[in-house]
């Protein structure tokens, strides 16, 4: 098993344990001040969908894809995430594999680059 693969496994394990600690309190659309962005984004999505049906070209497909990305971004920004209370030992058990795994991935990538340069 290479350093890069082992680092990837460590990062996945650390992120899995980090995601287990996360708690989601509410899920909905992002609010910009007192304005809810859901109506604006859904109208853009409907209009760009109609534009794709009427005249399919790169611009209309780009508008459709960007409105879908805005919809996902609005849902992600509207989500309230907090982490459960935990001890320092558990926190270290979460972050140490992520840090060491990232270091091993970078080290493995740099070693591979040096092999190709020689």
What's the total number of domains in the chain?
2
d(CA 108, CA 1): 11
With tokens 């990232």, the residue in question is 102
Residue 31 pLDDT: 72
Looking at the structure, do residues 90 and 101 belong to the same domain, yes or no?
Answer: yes
Instruction: Clarify whether residues 38 and 15 are in a common domain.
Output: no
Task: Give pLDDT < 70 ranges for the chain.
Answer: 27, 112-118
Q: Do 64 and 34 share a domain, yes or no?
A: yes
pTM passes above 0.75: no
Neighbours of 111 (CB within 10 A): 12
Question: Do 110 and 93 share a domain, yes or no?
Answer: yes
Question: Which residue range is the domain that position 62 belongs to?
Answer: 28-78
Orientation angle between helical segments 58-77 and 38-54, nearest 10 degrees = 160
What does the alpha-carbon distance between residue 115 and residue 4 come to, in Å, rounded to a whole number? Answer: 14
Q: Do 74 and 51 share a structural domain?
A: yes
Assess whether 57 and 98 both reside in one domain: no
Residues 67 and 42 in one domain: yes
48 and 73 inside one domain? yes
* Angstrom distance (rounded) from CA 30 to CA 79: 8
- What are the pLDDT digits (tens) for 78-100? 788 888 888 889 889 899 999 99
Are 37 and 72 contained in the same domain?
yes
């Amino acid at each position: 098993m290479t350093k890069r693969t082992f680092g990837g496994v460590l990062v996945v394990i650390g992120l899995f344990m980090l995601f287990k600690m996360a708690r989601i309190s509410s899920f909905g659309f992002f609010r910009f001040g007192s304005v809810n962005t859901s109506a604006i984004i859904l109208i853009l999505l409907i209009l760009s969908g109609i534009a794709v049906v009427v005249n399919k070209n790169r611009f209309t497909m780009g508008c459709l894809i960007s409105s879908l990305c805005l919809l996902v971004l609005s849902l992600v920004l509207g989500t309230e995430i907090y982490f459960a209370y935990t001890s320092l030992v558990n926190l270290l058990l979460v972050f140490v594999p992520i840090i060491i795994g990232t270091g091993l991935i970078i080290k493995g990538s740099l070693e591979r680059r040096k092999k190709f340069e020689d």
